[in-house]
Chains A and B, each alone.
Chain A
Amino acid sequence: MCCVMIYNRLATLRTMHGLSRQELADKVGVNYQTIGFIERGDYSPSLELGFAIASVFHVRIDDIFSTNVFQPMLGEVKHEPKIK
């Protein structure tokens, strides 16, 4: 089970919610660069961090992370207001 590729659509969700990397990083308690690494797929977060990120966007963890390539989000997720 080594080196399973974890795909994510964190960048899309973050942009949709109008959050910067720094803002998201502050909410989940990590360095802003870690958010960049996750978005680029260079780092797979722990379950704790994955759940923390999912709770920020009020979605399930498998809406953000998957072992399968995500399909385009058109029509799948409604635009939500900026998270305060």
Chain B
Amino acid sequence: MNRKLNRTDAFQKHREFLIPKIVSLFIIAGLVVALTATQQASGMPSGIDKIYTETAANWALLVSGASALILGGYYGGKYSILWAKAVEIRLDEREKSVRNRVFLRAYRWMVALMFFGLLGLMQSTNGHMQTVSGWVFLVLAISLPSIIASWTRASR
């Protein structure tokens, strides 16, 4: 009985850390699928296969964006750039320090990703790829602090 209770407690304890990790993986996987499918579609001749691949890319992007909103909602806008000022009043000093650390890491990652992303885009002449990349960067800009927070200790 005790062992069962302990197992339940352990599950409860880890569940709140596990959910954001899973959602953040959904976001990253969605973005990777979107970029890969778009890249593959660009090399295909016009036809039903190309349409299916581009549709898959668009759906992956949509799932990624929805997951980003879910993750932002899970944290109550704590790591959102858009609502940072509004949320700040209900954060205590520890939560503010975690948020600042998360924002700094997200900024570093974003600069690096934009640098390599722009290098890639400069060599690409594919208009659809450029559009999808723009959406990928938008989703990342919104969700990167939450993604990093979900893998950071003491973030909840």
Query: Which A residues are within 8 Å of any B CB, using their own CB?
Result: 29-31, 33-34, 37, 42-43, 45-46, 48-49
Name the contact of B93 in the complex, choosing from A33, A42, A49 (C-beta under 8 A).
A49
Please, how many residues of chain B have a CB less than 8 angstroms from a CB on the other chain? 7
- Indicate whether B4 reaches chain A with its CB closer than 8 angstroms: no
For the complex, give the distance between the alpha carbons of A42 and B154 in Å: 9
Q: Mark B122-145, 1 if CB is under 8 A from A, else 0.
A: 000000000000000000000000
Do most interface residues of chain A lie in helix, strand or loop, or is the interface mixed?
Answer: loop
Contact A29–B92 (Cβ < 8 Å): yes
Given contacts A33-B156, A37-B154, A43 and B94 within 8 Å (CB-CB): yes
B95 at the interface (CB under 8 A from A): yes
| Closest partner residue, chain B, to A28 (CB atom) | B92
**In the assembled complex, which residues on chain B have CB atoms less than 8 Å from the CB atom of A33?**
156
Whether the Cβ atoms of A30 and B154 lie closer than 8 Å is no
* 9 A-B pairs with the lowest CB-CB distances in the bound complex, closest first: A30-B92, A34-B94, A31-B92, A43-B94, A34-B92, A46-B93, A37-B154, A37-B94, A49-B93
Question: For residue A29, which residues in chain B have a CB less than 8 angstroms away from its CB?
Answer: 92
A43 B154 Cβ-Cβ under 8 A: yes
How far apart are the CA atoms of A45 and B154 in the complex, in Å? 14
Closest residue of A by beta carbon distance from B156: A33
Q: Mark B141-156, 1 if CB is under 8 A from A, else 0.
A: 0000000000001101
CB distance from A23 to the nearest CB of B (A): 15
A to B CB contacts below 8 Å, 20 in the list: A29-B92, A30-B92, A30-B93, A30-B94, A31-B92, A31-B94, A33-B156, A34-B92, A34-B93, A34-B94, A37-B154, A42-B153, A42-B154, A43-B94, A43-B154, A45-B93, A45-B94, A46-B93, A48-B93, A49-B93
